[in-house]
Amino acid sequence: NTTELPRLTVIGTGYLGATHAICMAVLGFEVLGVDVDQAKIDKLASGEVPFFEPGLPELLTKALESGRLRFSTSFEEAGEFGDVHFVCVGTPQQAGSDAADLSYVHAAFRSLAPHMHRRALVVGKSTVPVGTAKQLAETVRDLAPAGAEAELAWNPEFLREGFAVDDTMRPDRLVFGVESEWAEERLRAAYKPVLDLGTPVVRTDLATAELVKVAANSFLATKISYINAMAEVCEAVGADIKDLADSLALDDRIGGKFLKPGLGFGGGCLPKDIRAFAHRAEEIGVGQAVSFLREVDDINRRRRARTVDLVREMLGGISGKRIAAWGAAFKPNSDDIRDAPALDVARTMHGLGGHVRVFDPAALDNARRAFPDLRYGDSAFDVARDADVVVLLTEWSEFREVDPEALAEVVKHKRIVDGRHALNADQWRAAGWEYRALGRS
Ligand code: UGA
């Protein structure tokens, strides 16, 4: 019966998969979340979200109470249960290479396919190099007992950390890479409540669906590096990147989103996606078409070094100086420290002999675990005590709201580096602070 909601499995309950499973159960689907990590499954089953994401813990409670959401480590159970299987496992950067590590994706497909005894759709959501879906379709055809009846589709995911619930419940668009009418119909059924909101759908082939994701992240990364390149030019001539960016943003063909200058992009997606894309393009003989992504990456890395330089310039050297580092997460409203510019800068300054102390409202535990050699504090004011300089590295609202007059009471020198253009320079200067930010004189 095609009018009934299909039963969904979500394979891989990390950031993306857990969010998808929880939100779909809240929207009315019967959902089984599957992961090879027993500890993660136990946590989720007991109502605990293993990462920081606003709004998600409340929805997990609601979904578990509804009885529509369960968790398991069994692929056999997944094969029995699901009409549509979403594969949401990670594709991190390979150690020592720019390429994506596809071992989790291949493992998930190889584990699931032998248990697909009836007609079902497997939907890839992971970010993969173009061409991967075609290979995976073969895996499904070869290993699924239902043979040609089991089908593959590709449905890239665009959710942002910190806005994951909203981006899942009310996405800007859905992209369905499909090879048959049946697959499209199944995907439409698996998103019915979202489509009922009028969400636009692009129906396309597998390769295009894979590419949409990396093309989108590459565009966003390019926009950020573009404005940061302009900041470098501003620095050379004493111009002001903030005024420049604000002026560009008012042209609605350009727009102000992802045009915020500063320390640049980090996280588990943008940096590794542009590298993997450039690498894949070289493999398939179109490296030249996206060689600019290498430049985008270089501009972005230079921001981190330039931020350290700015602190050095201001203090006349880093060694022996007391430095308050505000922020560890790769962006606000997240506890994710993967490729976090903030921690990169803090570690470099520590390595140069600075007495660096780090505070972050959500990512302290993760930072401590990953970098136990760094020193940490309990609050923005705590780490600023007797500091020679305060360096804002992640633009949490908690930092933006700090009163410069009150902070002046605890520091040794009233010096602040605003790595994210997050503070009101006039207000800080009026309170007697030496305020510096990249791209501003
Ligand atoms: C990004 C994309 O925005 C999502 O659409 C995509 O689904 C996701 O990657 C993914 O591939 O899974 P996310 O990494 O959560 O999402 O974070 P963003 O909000 O995109 O921020 C990325 C980085 O860019 C952060 O370090 C942020 O501080 C930086 N950024 C962002 C800037 O430096 N300037 C800006 O103007 C905007």
Name the residue ranges covered by the structural domains of the chain. Answer: 8-204, 217-436
| Contact yes or no for 439/242 (Cβ under 8 A) | yes
217-436: same fold as 8-204?
A: yes
SS3 441: coil
For ligand 1, pick from 53, 157, 160 the residue to mutate: most ligand atoms within 8 Å of CB: 160
Catalytically active residues, by annotation: 269
Q: What is the whole-number distance in angstroms between the Cα of residue 291 and the centre of ligand 1?
A: 21
- Each as own residue / partner, the long-range contacts of residues 228-231 (CB below 8 Å, 24 or more positions apart, any chain) are 228/261, 228/262, 228/264, 228/299, 228/300, 228/303, 228/439, 229/299, 230/261, 230/439, 231/261, 231/438, 231/439
The pLDDT, as a whole number, for residue 3 is 54
Atom 31 of ligand 1: nearest residue by CA position: 258
| Contact yes or no for 183/80 (Cβ under 8 A) | no
Cα-based torsion angle of the residue sequence 241, 243, 248, 252 in order, rounded to the nearest 10 degrees: 140
Atom 17 of ligand 1: nearest residue by CA position: 160
Q: ipTM of this model?
A: 0.97
Q: Which atom number of ligand 1 is nearest to the Cα of residue 334? A: 15
SS3 389: strand
Ligand 1 binding pocket, CB closer than 6 Å? 127, 157-161, 217, 220, 224, 258-260, 262, 264-267, 269-270, 330-331
Superfamily holding 217-436: NAD(P)-binding Rossmann-like Domain (3.40.50.720)
Whole-Å CA distances, 143 to 104, 105, 110: 17, 15, 7
The pLDDT, as a whole number, for residue 2 is 43
In angstroms, the CA 63 to CA 69 distance is 6
Q: What is the whole-number distance in angstroms between the Cα of residue 119 and the centre of ligand 1?
A: 37
Atom 16 of ligand 1: nearest residue by CA position: 160
Tally of CA atoms within 13 A in the half-sphere of 155 that contains its CB: 27
pTM here?
0.96
The pLDDT, as a whole number, for residue 1 is 42
Tally of CA atoms within 13 A in the half-sphere of 138 that contains its CB: 4
Q: What is the whole-number distance in angstroms between the Cα of residue 310 and the centre of ligand 1?
A: 24
Q: Which residue from 166, 37, 26, 144 is spatially nearest to 90, judged by alpha carbons?
A: 37
The pLDDT, as a whole number, for residue 441 is 82
> Any idea which fold 8-204 has?
Rossmann fold (3.40.50)
Atom 20 of ligand 1: nearest residue by CA position: 160
Query: Which pair of tokens denotes residue 122?
Result: 């497997």
SS3 108: helix
- Each as own residue / partner, the long-range contacts of residues 268-271 (CB below 8 Å, 24 or more positions apart, any chain) are 268/15, 268/90, 268/92, 268/330, 268/336, 268/338, 268/339, 269/127, 269/217, 270/217, 270/220, 270/221, 270/224, 271/93, 271/221, 271/297, 271/300, 271/339
Atom 12 of ligand 1: nearest residue by CA position: 269
Q: What is the whole-number distance in angstroms between the Cα of residue 219 and the centre of ligand 1?
A: 11
Per residue of the chain (441 residues), give pLDDT as tens: 445 899 999 999 999 999 999 999 999 999 999 999 999 999 999 999 999 999 999 999 999 999 999 999 999 999 999 999 999 999 999 999 999 999 999 999 999 999 999 899 999 999 999 999 999 999 999 999 876 688 999 999 999 999 999 999 999 999 999 999 999 999 999 999 999 999 999 999 999 999 999 999 999 999 999 999 999 999 999 999 999 999 999 999 999 999 999 999 999 999 999 999 999 999 999 999 999 999 999 999 999 999 999 999 999 999 999 999 999 999 999 999 999 999 999 999 999 999 999 999 999 999 999 999 999 999 999 999 999 999 999 999 999 999 999 999 999 999 999 999 999 999 999 999 999 999 998
**Cβ neighbours of 208 (radius 10 Å):** 16
In one letter, which amino acid is 399? F
Sheet-wide strand order for 415-418:
375-376, 355-359, 322-326, 389-392, 415-418, 434-436
The pLDDT, as a whole number, for residue 148 is 64
DSSP letter, residue 395: -
For ligand 1, pick from 270, 275, 338 the residue to mutate: most ligand atoms within 8 Å of CB: 270
Q: Which atom number of ligand 1 is nearest to the Cα of residue 268? A: 14
In angstroms, the CA 71 to CA 335 distance is 24
In angstroms, the CA 306 to CA 345 distance is 10
Cβ neighbors of 116 (< 8 A, separation 6 or more) are: 79, 85, 122, 140, 144, 145, 146, 150
The pLDDT, as a whole number, for residue 149 is 84
